[in-house]
A and B are shown apart, each in its own frame.
Chain A
Amino acid sequence: MPVQRRGAAVEIAGLRREYFSGQGAVLAIDHIDLKVSAGEFLCIVGPSGCGKSTLLRILAGLDRQSSGTIKVDAAGWAVENAMVFQESGLFPWMDVETNVRFGLDTRGVPRAEAAPRVDAALKLVGLTHFRNHYPHQLSGGMRQRSAIARAFVTDPGMLLMDEPFAALDAQNRVILQAELVRLWEQTGKTVIYVTHSIEEALLMGDRTVIMTAQPGRIKQIIDVPFPHPRDLIQLSGSAEFGKLKLDIWRVLEGEVMRARAELEK
């Protein structure tokens, strides 16, 4: 096993994001204070429209906060973060290998140096034999694997994941969850993983942040007590897991109802 590498640490304080539209201001997220330690696998759960994706997009540099600060300690990392999107976002005109190399090309890594890194990333996700396939020739699960390889290859301080497995069927989702956990256990990267599934959050994460419905605030942060390495299938069947899931659902239930009432208004 290679030396454990640790990821970047993040400190978020007083983060707030307001959108302005014809109807006035909409507060997407507010009062977000959160510390993510280096190498942590943090999951964020909340009802639809709670601003969890907004938070992730701000961290990814794709959106800007209205106020508040984000401090990322990514010293020693060439790339601060890499995002894996819900739809893989693979470029359909590039084959898998070229897609995976993209983040290295954009940063001017020479081909000779990029090649072994691309090989390693493809091997990591088991796609070595599919390197010359185009995305439309791959299954949904393979596309998400490619997207994960594309993020890993840049060796980012943290991985930002926006419901990456939501569009997959149940079997594929379980397989990819297990693979991601294994990758995380091997590399020790910081992972911030947004999902609407409590089960997914508990299976994979060290801590789970529960967010309120609009505006998104942090309702509760739960330490997930299950040790690593984890056997996800076994874990999901255990009594302890079931109880924790139920506890969290009780917390989240009120928020989901509130979000629904908001929509029906």
Chain B
Amino acid sequence: MNVQAWTFVLVGLSFALYIGIAVWSRARSTKDFYVAGTGVGPLANGMATAADWMSAASFISMAGIVSFLGYDGSVYLMGWTGGYVLLALLLAPYLRKFGAFTVPDFVGDRYYSQTARVVAVICAIAVSFTYVAGQMRGVGVVFSRFLEVPIELGVVIGMGIVFFYAVLGGMKGITYTQVAQYCVLIFAFMVPAIFLSLMMAGTPIPQLGFGGVDPSTGVPLIEKLNGLHTELGFAAYTSGAKSTLDVFAITAALMVGTAGLPHVIIRFYTVPRVRDARLSAGYALVFIAILYTTAPAIAVFARTNLLETVRDAPYAAVPEWFTKWEETGLLTFTDSNADGLIQYVGPDAVDAAGVPITNELTVDRDIMVLANPEISGLPDWVVGLVAAGGLAAALSTAAGLLLVVSSAVSHDLLKRGLRPDISEKGELIAARIAAGVAVVIAGWLGINPPGFVAEVVALAFGLAASSFFPVILLGIFTKRMNREGAIAGMISGIGFTTAYIVWFKFIDPAANTADNWWFGISPEGIGTIGMLINFAVAVTVSRFTPPPPRAVANMVEDIRVPRGAREAHEISA
């Protein structure tokens, strides 16, 4: 069997599995649909959370980003894991005790305000749609590259699968599909990593391999890569180019953003008890850490491999994968000095006479994971497996995000807003219709991706960091925080963050350089400042406005202890 046949078989099998699970786990009530009936065990929830969280970006792009950024890539590794500590310690147990169905549910009830609820609904929908567009694009890329179908058809197939299990099963279907998707994606990520580690470092454990030595020469791998970088005019791999303050701000924005993302938070509503919420955050981070500690190892292996393969290689003799990826436009080579050799060099490169050398090769970072098995000459089935893994990562995250959108519409806007008298059955139908419409919009965004998908991801994290996190945290840890403070805080935090990002990314992109940034903080890290503004405004405003009603103070007392968290609250039941 060739690569394509293997890919068809493995992707087909994984899709059949997801559909089977969807049929087996249909949602029968709104509680099933929103929070899987709060019957998910901590281990299963940990796996589902990991798949929910690890998107096409984690699976396809992250190792590549780290590979190109070196030390600076650490912001993603720490930022996208450290947030789970905040979740487990500061948010998850209390939100589970509160027992809501959605994030706007908590914001609306804790701040006794429909305005606060609506602001939260808008944030939740905005964050989720920006995210989901990127997932659908990932699905399209994998399909077009590995199965050689048009991107549009790939997106439609992906949409069909998500539609089936998200609409039918709601959170319940999504949860058990995500458990399966985690298994597929982690297997697909680890197999090539283990092969690579054996090849490059002589050990099957990538985490040890990348701190090891090249078995043929005895030179430490990291030292070897730093050497290659210096020779070719790149900054040393282990030293960064970003300022310390910016690294600090980006890491914080990603951590806090993680803890404030609605599709992650709602996963902790699905477990039976408060203690399960804490424990499942721990399991989730274990499952995530397996991938996140392997990614920097792959980054080092892949970077070394790439540099050694293309460095001054004759273009006529490039391997087959090189040509294949050139066709996708993700790899481009222009022989500016017409010597027939590939000069892949950094900004500081000079030749023997001290004349700067022009770089002739651009490599899209997404290739690093997808092409790795081919670059390293791994068996065909591994390539097919990576395709199935990439799809699992994209689909699982897309489904989680779509659920947030659908519950924001059917629960927060209809049930808790416009149509409080809607029946259980009516709400379930509304939730299914909303999920269906959301899938179609997501698919449309995937087929017609806004040219700025990568940029909006920064916005999604910035928004989550500067809106939800401070408001939820203050809602749990202070009894004095009131409606006025929370609304003022959310609006000023989001307003500042959006304005800063929109300015540098869309209105005046030419000015997007460190010289023009406030305090040297990039748009990726500005969510940290937005969060601080939110905290400061909320606390100040609440001091000059009336304290919350007694019932709210009692509720805060109550969510601080685990006992009594048997069920998610059901207003109508």
A binds B: no
